[in-house]
Structure 1
Amino acid sequence: MPQLAVPGRKTARRRVAAPDAAPSRVLHKGQQTRLVILDAALALAAEAGLEGLSIGALAESTGMSKSGVFAHFGSREELQISVIHEYFQRFEQEVFYPAIQEARGLPRLRALFENWMKRVTEEIQSGCIFISGAIDFDDRPGPVRDALACSVRVWLAAVERAATLAKEEEELVADADVRQICFEIHGLILSVHYEARFLQTPGSIERAQRAFEQILARYSSGAH
C-alpha cells in the first residue's frame, strides 16, 4: 500500500489497522510514552498553535518532568517538527488511505475531498495545525517551516495525482488542467476554515461541497 512520503520523517510508522483489528505490534514503554506526549502536544498545538508548544507547557500538561519530556525530543524545535509529522501521519490515515481503496478516477478524487472535508468539520473548533502553522511560520525560514511546507506539498501532490488518474481514465476532459483543479479544491478547504471557524458563517460546509461538484462538472468529460 502506497504512502505519502515526507522527507525527514522517520520511516518507522504505525500501520493503519482495520476497524476493530488488534494492534499489529506491541509498543515499547518508551514508544508508548512518546505517543502519550505527542497526543498532549497535538491537543496543545490545536489550541495554541505550534508557537504555543514548549517543553515546559507539555510537561505541565502531561504531569511529567521537563527532563522527562526533553529526553524524548531534545529541543522545542524537534518537538514542533515531531508534532507536524505525527499530525500528517494521522491525516493520511484518516484521509488518504481510505480514499485509495476507491477506484482510480473520480471516485478516488471525490473520496479524497469527502474525507478531507470530514476532517475539516472535526477541526472547526480546534483548528488545523497546517493552516495556523502557515500563518506563524510563513516568513520564518527554518526546519519547522520546511516540515510544514513539505507536508502540505506532499498532500497536494496526492490530490493532483488523483486528478491526473481521473484524466487518464477519461473521466475528465483531455485538456483538463489538473494543477488548476488541485488549486481550486485546496482553495475550497481554506475557505471553509476561514468561513466556518473564523466568521462562523452558516452553511459553509454545504457551499464547499456544492463548489466541489461544480468543479468536477466543469471538467467532466461527460459534460462536454
Structure 2
Amino acid sequence: NARPAFKGLYDFPNSVCISKNGCVIHGIPDNEPLKEGDVVGFDVGVEINGWYGDAAITVGVGEIDEKYKKMIEVSKNAIYYAVDNIKPGMRYKQISKLLEEYITSHGFVPLKGYSGHGIGRKPHEEPQILNYVEGKPNQGEKVKNGHVFCLEPMLCQKCGEPILADNGWDVYCSDLEVGVHYEHQIAIVDNKAIILTEEE
C-alpha cells in the first residue's frame, strides 16, 4: 500500500530521480542504455499511511574510475561521520559543518544551493540541512529527540556552483565533471541518531 512519493511532486514527471555522470541530482530518467563506466544516482521517495521516506545511492556501472569510487565512498561515509557525532542539543548548522569538513578533507566540494531536510507528514519539511555552513554554526534550530530528517551529501570535484538544465530538473556542477549523491533518513531516538534507511 505504498506509493512513489516523487511522481508528480512539484510536477516531477517520474517515480525515481536517476542522475547519470555529470548530473548530480534530480535527473529525469530517459531511454539511453547505461554503459560500462557510468556513474548513476538513484533517489527514491515513498509514502505510506501519510508518512514519507527518502533515500539515495550512487553506484558505478561495471568498472568505474578510481576517483569516482572514492567520491561515492566519501559521499556515503560523510553521513556516517555526521551520524556518529550527532547529539540532541547541537545545532543543525553544526551537522552541516561536520558534513562540509568531511567532504572537503577528502578533496571534494559540496554542491551549493541544495540540502538535506526534515521529513515526516510531508516529503520536505524544516529544517534545511546544507552540506556546508552558511552563517554561524552555533545558531539556528537544535536537534531534539523525535526529530526525523534526511542527510544527503552531494559532491562535486572542483566547483560546487550548480547549473540547472533546460528541463528545469537536472542539476550539474559548474565544472561539468561527474558528481555523486547519497542520502539516508535519520531519527533521533533515546538521545541517539539512528539510520532508518540502512541498506540490506
TM-score norm. by structure 2 comes to 0.27
Higher relative contact order (CA 8 A, sep 6+): 2
Kindly indicate which of the two structures has a greater share of residues assigned to helix. 1
Structure whose CA Rg is larger: 1
* Greater strand content: 2
**TM-score, normalised relative to structure 1:** 0.25
